[in-house]
Structure 1
Amino acid sequence: MALQPQHSVSEPERDYALRQLVTESAFASTTTALTSGVILTAFALHLGASNLVIGVLASAPFLGQLLQAPTILLVERLRQRKLISVASSLIGRGMLALMALSAFLPRDLAIGALILGQLVLCGMAAVGSCAWSAWMRDLAPEDRLGWVFARRTSFAAAISLVAGIAAAVVLDRTPEGSWWRSVTFGALYGLGFVSGLVSAWLTARIPEPAMPPQPDVQLGLMALLREPLTDRNFRQLTIFLAAWQFAINLATPFFTVFIVQQLGFDMTFVMVLSVVSQLSNLIALRNWGALADRFANKSVLLVAAPTYIACIVAMIGASQIAHGPWLVAYLVVLHLIMGGAVAGATLATTSIALKLSPKGSSTAYVATAGLATAVAAGIAPILGGAFADFFRLRQFELLLRWTSPQGVAIVSPLRLSQWDFYFLIAGVLGLYAIHRLALVQETGEIRRREMVQQVLLHTRRSVRNISTVAGLRGLTDLPAGFLRDASLRARFLRRQRFADRD
């Protein structure tokens, strides 16, 4: 297994690499599903962490992105992106063993180990991601970027769905605050550690095209970062990505805390909502990928981003509904819409940064965008956790007063408290981010109204497909179908090349 770059990558090797990307995503997503998101927040709450600690844990993936700055120089000088990606993956995922051990440590020591492990894990993930993104930019054909990442993300979402359900079932069988729940969290992080090692091994088997010859003049870090910022269009994209990440990460990391503490649901219900969102994400991804390739990533963002922001603001409605079946239904529907919207937003933001960066020297471009979003997204949840107590002691209430001969009636149709304020603020900031997106130019983009029509058309087709027995069976076979499609496509391309030679 060589970690050195190749001077050229043949088409069969490229097809193999694209299939390997899908397989690797299964293990990477298993690691993520078992050790982040709802699981991480539940683990922190189990250990007795404060809102500020939860905010720090949520900000770690973004603060870790700051390491992309020195990684740019490392990639440009070492010019071995696979080596950097695999080594950083092994170091970072090694921290999952420490986080598994923290389940059995005293409270303060456990929380410290959890924070340390999360910071190192996310920092190394950022280093690997910087090298990996530039590597994939040169490996995947430009006209298949959306196709590749949609299938990779879809397969990852399917595996995350299964892992999320399994985690919910296991956690549901352990009493809150018990020793067995500590064992459960330790086991989840242990499995994540093993799965992460397999992911790193599979990544090492993917070929890496050699970077262009190193220039005689060595550029410093500031010179490398200056080049993307002098590109007006990419600068507009960077501003949008930073504003977007700040808006959504001010509130979304605290969804679990909001649902558990303010609405009064248990962690099992939170896991169910997470599974619902992932299922919606899985169904929507294929359509978003096709639309991104056909009509540009910006067109996808102009529909998916406002929808996701609207869902964040709509979380306020959950605190206005009495605890019962209607509230459960409201949250389920909201997470269905949110899962579909975040699928398009995540896919498009990843692809558009790659697409608007020049081929062969995309490292600095991708890293510059990553640094800007890291600062914005890293600050947002820390501010959220720091000001949690401030908003907890404050409440806004709208009162309607009705006077009649029978007396005076006072009705309160709107009551905002604690996390509701974050959802409202995130909505306002989200509108600004969407305004910045309008200034970005991308080839092939269409108007928002036309894109909405295309989304509705694809959605109706998807609903018709899954409304039949064959469609439901196809949904369950989705990951295997992707692999079969990729395999058939590779065979067809090989036969076509052999025919051309003859």
Structure 2
Amino acid sequence: MRSPLAKKDSENRRYLNILTAEGIPATVFGTLIGGQFLTGYLMYLGASSSQIGLVLAIPTLANVLQIPFASVSHKLHRKWGFVTLASLHRLCWTATGFIPFFFPRELWLPIYLALYTLAFIANATSGMMWTSLVGDMVLPQVRARYMGFRNMLLNAIGSVTLFAGGQILDRYPGGQGYHVLFVIILVMMSLNILMFTTYPNLPLEKSTKTGLASMLRLPLQDRSFMRASIFLSAWLLLQGMVVPLYAFIMLNNLGLSQGRVSAMTIIQTLAMVASFYIWGQLNARYSNKQLLFWTLPIIAASCLSWGLLSVLPVLPVLMLVHVLIGFGVGGFNQLVFNFIIGDTPKSERPMFIAVYSAITGIAGFIGPIVGGWVFEELKGSPAWLQTYGVALILGAVLMTLVWTLARKALR
């Protein structure tokens, strides 16, 4: 007869295998429908830089809905609630690929915005349930190393997907290339939804509080948590004014092809792959907040590196920019995830996740919109200002924040 410890170890390994396997179609799906391909598809639909900024901002604003949802989430079936909402996200986003077949051109962008908004409302609420579920599936003692391994593997797959997607768009220019991509996206969406159903139905530790106000009071009264969350939201606002628009700058201002932009994004993803392993190893020895601090100057340096376009050739500079942003943002995202599921009380985790996501979501919504508006207003200004001036200025602001407020916020 197997011992309880052996049985538990076997179950935990099965959970990790499920998480890894489910992430593969999710990564191919997200890579081909988001990032630079999202920017390119929006440009194909006729979007301006300000409209692209609005679209890029919607996912983070939708996170605000996590707060009211967190107060009732413990009453829902956690697994099937997650499966339903995550599937709705995939279905609505995939449906945007069929807009040119069914609607006149003047309705392409409004229909896209409606479907995209619904998709990310579902994603925001399912994401909170997924984070809570993963927190129970992955044991604390292996969490840092496992998440580093998982992120490393999935981003390696994402690199291959980026290259293939860029090649498809270069070989089939215009709408034809996106039609091919959306066929692949449809297949990956179907596989991903099927694999959602393999998640375990783990019991949820109920909150010790009842009612939205009492549940919300706990994270709001946690000074360390709130200090870090408010600082990170300000950081993400400034970062969001330029980093999400890297692809737009390369496609629109520098005139690079989708293939070249894909190559840069692959370099960024490979840097992320390396970063996940390195940050994961370090996280086994140092705290989440301590390491989170050291990702910030790397992100700021990526923005500052755009200024090298004034003295160096384009491609080497872009390679440096994307290596830095990949290594910095990869570590940032991994450590923030570990922070909100590892440094918060288990029974109250949904509301802590919701509060963090709401605060940073508002900032993340404002950043790309302001960034898109700035690039729109700069039309007709000197080329250097449009190409690297904005990134250079924001990089300087971010680096100043690193050596002033960041140390106190992430103590």
Pairwise same-fold verdict (TM > 0.5): yes
1:82 aligns with 2:102: no
The one-letter amino acid of 2:210's match is Q
- In the TM superposition, what is the alpha-carbon distance from 1:223 to its structure 2 partner? 2.8
1:240 aligns with 2:231: yes
Q: Pick the aligned partner of 2:390 from 391, 399, 421.
A: 421
Taking structure 2 as the reference length, what is the TM-score of the superposition? Answer: 0.91
Of structures 1 and 2, the one with the larger relative CO (CA 8 A, separation 6+) is 2
Q: CA RMSD in A?
A: 2.2
Name which of structure 1's ranges 289-298 and 433-442 shifts more when overlaid on structure 2.
Answer: 433-442
Alpha-carbon distance in 1 for matches of 2:320, 2:391: 21
Q: Which residue of 1 aligns with 2:167?
A: 169
Alpha-carbon distance in 2 for matches of 1:417, 1:374: 26
Name which of structure 1's ranges 45-54 and 433-442 shifts more when overlaid on structure 2.
Answer: 433-442
Q: Pick the aligned partner of 1:388 from 364, 375, 379.
A: 375
Q: Which residue of 1 aligns with 2:214?
A: 223
SS in 2 for 1:339: helix
Q: CA contact under 8 A between 1:149 and 1:347: conserved in structure 2?
A: yes
Count, aligned residues: 404
Gaps of 5+ in 1: 1-8, 176-180, 397-414, 443-502
Query: CA 1:375–1:276 in 2, change beyond 3 Å: closer, same or farther?
Result: same
- In the TM superposition, what is the alpha-carbon distance from 1:434 to its structure 2 partner? 6.4
Q: Which residue of 1 aligns with 2:178?
A: 185
Q: CA contact under 8 A between 2:99 and 2:111: conserved in structure 1?
A: yes
Query: CA 1:97–1:366 in 2, change beyond 3 Å: closer, same or farther?
Result: closer
Alpha-carbon distance in 2 for matches of 1:438, 1:99: 43
Which is greater in Rg?
Answer: 1
The one-letter amino acid of 1:341's match is G
Name which of structure 1's ranges 258-267 and 13-22 shifts more when overlaid on structure 2.
Answer: 258-267
SS in 1 for 2:344: coil
SS in 1 for 2:284: helix
Superposed CA offset, 1:34-53 (max 9, x none):
10010000011112211121
Q: Which residue of 1 aligns with 2:352?
A: 365
Alpha-carbon distance in 2 for matches of 1:152, 1:140: 12
1:283 aligns with 2:274: yes
- In the TM superposition, what is the alpha-carbon distance from 1:371 to its structure 2 partner? 0.5
Q: Pick the aligned partner of 2:99 from 97, 102, 125.
A: 102
Q: Which residue of 1 aligns with 2:262?
A: 271
Taking structure 1 as the reference length, what is the TM-score of the superposition? Answer: 0.76
Superposed CA offset, 1:160-195 (max 9, x none):
1111111011111123xxxxx313213323322331
Alpha-carbon distance in 1 for matches of 2:235, 2:58: 17
> Identity across aligned pairs (percent)?
22
Q: CA contact under 8 A between 1:138 and 1:209: conserved in structure 2?
A: yes
Query: CA 1:311–1:47 in 2, change beyond 3 Å: closer, same or farther?
Result: same
Gaps of 5+ in 2: 1-6
For 1:118-197, list aligned pairs within 5 A. 118-175=116-173, 181-197=174-190
Query: CA 1:340–1:429 in 2, change beyond 3 Å: closer, same or farther?
Result: closer
- In the TM superposition, what is the alpha-carbon distance from 1:140 to its structure 2 partner? 1.6
Q: CA contact under 8 A between 1:57 and 1:115: conserved in structure 2?
A: yes
Q: CA contact under 8 A between 2:206 and 2:347: conserved in structure 1?
A: no
- In the TM superposition, what is the alpha-carbon distance from 1:204 to its structure 2 partner? 2.3
Query: CA 1:72–1:393 in 2, change beyond 3 Å: closer, same or farther?
Result: same
Q: CA contact under 8 A between 1:72 and 1:364: conserved in structure 2?
A: yes
Name which of structure 1's ranges 236-245 and 163-172 shifts more when overlaid on structure 2.
Answer: 236-245
- In the TM superposition, what is the alpha-carbon distance from 1:380 to its structure 2 partner? 0.8
1:212 aligns with 2:205: yes
Q: Pick the aligned partner of 1:337 from 321, 324, 332.
A: 324
- In the TM superposition, what is the alpha-carbon distance from 1:272 to its structure 2 partner? 0.9
Q: Which residue of 2 aligns with 1:65?
A: 63
Query: CA 1:56–1:210 in 2, change beyond 3 Å: closer, same or farther?
Result: same
Q: CA contact under 8 A between 1:248 and 1:430: conserved in structure 2?
A: no
Superposed CA offset, 1:221-280 (max 9, x none):
x33222101011111121122122112111012111211222222222111100111112
